[in-house]
Amino acid sequence: MAARTADRIAVVAHRGSSEDAPEHTLAAYRKAIEDGADALECDVRLTADGHLVCVHDRRINRTSNGRGAVSRLELADLAELDFGSWKLRHGGARAGEEPGTDPYESPDTDSGPDARAERTAVLTLERLLQLVADAGRPVGLAIETKHPTRWAGQVEERLLDLLDRYRLDSPVRVMSFSARSLHRVRLAAPELPTVFLMQLLLPRLRDGRLPAGVRIAGPSVRILRAHPEYVERAHRAGNEVHVWTVDEPADVALCARLGVDAIITNRPQQVREQLAAL
């Protein structure tokens, strides 16, 4: 597998365009599509009543006005909450706009209180699949199973059911730090690409090989700073390299120099512009 030139590197919006809009909301994903992202990254967790929702943390305390673990709440509980306002308090790029305006409104989306609430409501994976289906251009999806081991396969089962129901034209892949989760996905859907996420580069993976059947490595950008030779090794082993979370221009330049296959970033528009200028 050859190193990619900068113009061929895929740009993946991490939790949507989450530098500008609250992560994992419709607002963030619509912005990512407007920003020209090639694909959307999302984390999925199961609610107490078996729905997959796009939430990163085990608890909803950081990103909503509610409290508690996703796994102990039902979808109806989550649907009451606001997953957007925290971003304004924490200096979202659009914070500080005129009071009374909706900072996350896109020109092509409806206005009004219901539309606003939907933009910053808890996002189900199903709603995200619908957004991708309606995007009007191919937009990929990189879906990360979060701590799936405690659910004994239910996360993967529900995920594959939904993908089967939507049958998107765009490329979809499943990512996880859990090799066991990816193994379950491969057993049930061998054709679906899987990404093995890595926080550390374990000695047994330094030669670029991956757990059986996985063809995409997902190292953190810190791994590439410490082990830039990893990209060439992974390519030599026939694997792609999708790097996260790459926001700093120096890291984008490093990824471009190494010829990675995809950059996962909170700021897809800026990364796209930087890659285009190289």
3-state secondary structure 211-249: CCCCCEEEEEHHHHHHCCHHHHHHHHCCCEEEEECCCCH
Report 204-233 residues binding ligand G3P (CB under 6 A). 218
For tokens 């939507």, the residue is 166
The reply to whether 41 sits near ligand G3P by the rule CB under 6 A is yes
Query: 260: exposed, middle or buried (C-beta count within 10 Å: 0-12, 13-18, 19+)?
Result: buried
Question: Using CB under 5 A, which of 19, 20, 35, 144 touches Ca ion?
Answer: 144
CA distance 132 to 85: 24
The reply to whether 23 sits near Ca ion by the rule CB under 5 A is no
The reply to whether 56 sits near ligand G3P by the rule CB under 6 A is yes
Find the shortest distance in angstroms from Cβ 102 to Ca ion: 27
CA distance 209 to 65: 43
- Clarify whether 147 is annotated catalytic: no
Question: Using CB under 6 A, which of 102, 144, 240, 261 touches ligand G3P?
Answer: 144
- Clarify whether 14 is annotated catalytic: yes
Residue 229: count other Cβ atoms within 10 Å of its Cβ. 11
Number of residues lying near ligand G3P (CB under 6 A): 10
The reply to whether 19 sits near ligand G3P by the rule CB under 6 A is no
Residue of 189, 123, 191, 121 whose CA lies nearest to 153 = 189
Catalytic residue among 24, 51, 56, 242: 56
Catalytic residue numbers read 14, 56
**Residues of this chain that bind ligand G3P (CB under 6 A):** 14, 41, 43, 56, 144, 197, 218, 244-245, 264
**Residues of this chain that bind Ca ion (CB under 5 A):** 43, 144
